[in-house]
Structure 1
């Protein structure tokens, strides 16, 4: 079956998602699954798990590849463990299909704007009338020579914005302020080093912005709460470099600034020594995922303020040596993941107070001491490896419905494709 037949055989919803993926990202790009899922969320408002099923369906039709980077799990709603690859032929086909949707560039549902050096396409340079883009998905790709010399555009209907960049300095375009319907922003750096991002303030005027993802950028974590992102629900930072010494006790009104924020993901950020204080003031937070941050050695005791936190994921933070005792105050915590934290010496003494805790993952935690209060937990599922399973077996007779799953530690070569 040729490509056209494969595409025509898809249900309409998968056709749309296929065209979105092909229109959003650069050729030869390897995409973390969460990035694609966030774009689809912005365009269709569908749940993350349904988006993951769409990815699996497209992979089963051979229209993309879905490669596991870890344990091939996503039941906890964490999708950074998968890599999406799409053949350039499929990408070009998707762009061609989008061009057929409307003769006018300005009326297309999806628009891919490719800027080489500082040369915009001719249709951007018409001085006779203002440029109005009516696309709901806008992808802008620039090269290493681009100097952020933007033209003015009006983009009132854009709901998902993908910025693919490669320069060492990059100023976000001011015309983002015209995107009043914008729900998702993806800022993806393809250059060898973290890009210095400026003009982040243009995001502060967007009333519907739900998700922000920034990859391989040099930013100040203290600038983020200043943006007053009242509608933001998810913040994702991947391979970012944080430029400041974290001393942010003076940040005010964080709960008001982030009254909708439920999820923070920080992954592969190697110079993260500690989390900024303002994160622990986001009382609406339900998921906090700090993974593969090798220099993070401890968490602040004020983490106990996060009364609504349901998931705490700290996997592969291999300098983390303890969790603060205030973790016992996270009364809504359901999932704790400390896998790969092989320096971790103990869990909080009164962790047994977390009556809603139903799952603990702790592979490669053979140094960790389990407190006696653990025995009061019921219906607990534990995932561990051969080196840590003995820690739990002594609790087996004392804990009601304790389930222990022993898994082997894997080293997945697909990880090399991320860097």
Structure 2
């Protein structure tokens, strides 16, 4: 009897496997046939899909044989069931691992070939491409973007949003807007896709070709830039609008060159991340629920009230897409023209986390959203797009927390709302994000008695709204980032009792809003920065206990016209005597000797 139960259990399991395998074969049949036909048309090697087709045919034969067995006979067909299980696993693995890798490779091949052809053809038009025929949710952003673009005080405007959010579509709509064409003239609107590896020489050649001017092949980027300043002369009296689409981090110097050499032009840049040195920014938001539903139904050709897919299932898929137009279009488009039962089956599988394979979906989302090549499921694809597929942030109440470390596993995400209530937060850590991206509005940082702090992260220098930076009693801190001069809004810099700190970076000269500088008890500092005199708004300088600061101060110190108070010890006060002759409003105050060893208790 026990053996019979075991056989019955195996038969039931085999039945389940057969149903699952049959469903997978049904979903894959049309896709694989399209791949086979395209491979034949493009003269691609058939070996890559041949093994999958052979496995699918073998699986069909076994399923057919299995269906003909009476139920009692299936009890004794254990080997048959094992073979079905093995085939099902091999097919799923092929779809999850091999096909995505092939798709990624083919996409890169295409991009490489396109890049080669683009470089060869320097005369490609810079006309703005037509936007899609159907767009939703962009009318208000278009109006707001036009208003910002027309502001005279700024020549360069950043349009930022995550990949797949609709930036390119929005600037294409702007380029074909009648009001914009009336201002700039249709021939004075230029559109160039920059991408991850910009080619400045090709870009400048295309701009000149667009206005009908032939230029020789540039020998270097510098040569191209030298010619760039001649471009405005070729377009007449009307202003120019240059749209630089898909600009990646690291291309800021390129933008600086365009901005400098085209001073009377307007430059509109689309990018996935904000660039700290360009503060004039418009952030495009994802679509709201109503617009997302309209775009998904249009992409999938689903009519209201007549779809076989329940609304709650559609809403789950839309929620996973996070309001991103690209995701909505690609996933919706994969349903277009499919039989009702296939549409329903795919949506149910997606919402239940089962594997998907759609070549177009994978290639387009990978290229725009930087997805990995690993196993593709709906949850994994869109975990970066919408927090709803992740465990929700719990509502932590922690107003006294001083240090917060979040170990993110994705590149794009939002911070939990409870961060806003952490009034005493002094340090924030994350393994995958720059501080400037995590806390772009941070205005004050206080770090005390951090005994393991040896150096500050360079990303700290990109928190451009920072007004107060206080690092005290951090005795192992030996250097400050060279780029600290990027903190152009910094008003207070306290480095008191950082005993291993040996010098202040020369870039500190750029902190023109700095009012208070405190280096008290920084025992290792031997000299002040050579260009300290460029701190044009410095009012107070605290430097008592700087025992190694014995040499005369830099000549530029005499230019600290706003300096009103210096607090130091007797030895340093003597060094200020000759400088007081130039700074007549300066008060040098000798601090009382106060031997404070309380910091030793913290170490």
Bucket of the pairwise TM-score, normalised by the shorter protein: 0.3 to 0.5
Question: Is the helix fraction higher in 1 or 2?
Answer: 2
Per the normalisation by structure 2, the TM-score is 0.31
Per the normalisation by structure 1, the TM-score is 0.44
Greater C-alpha Rg: 2
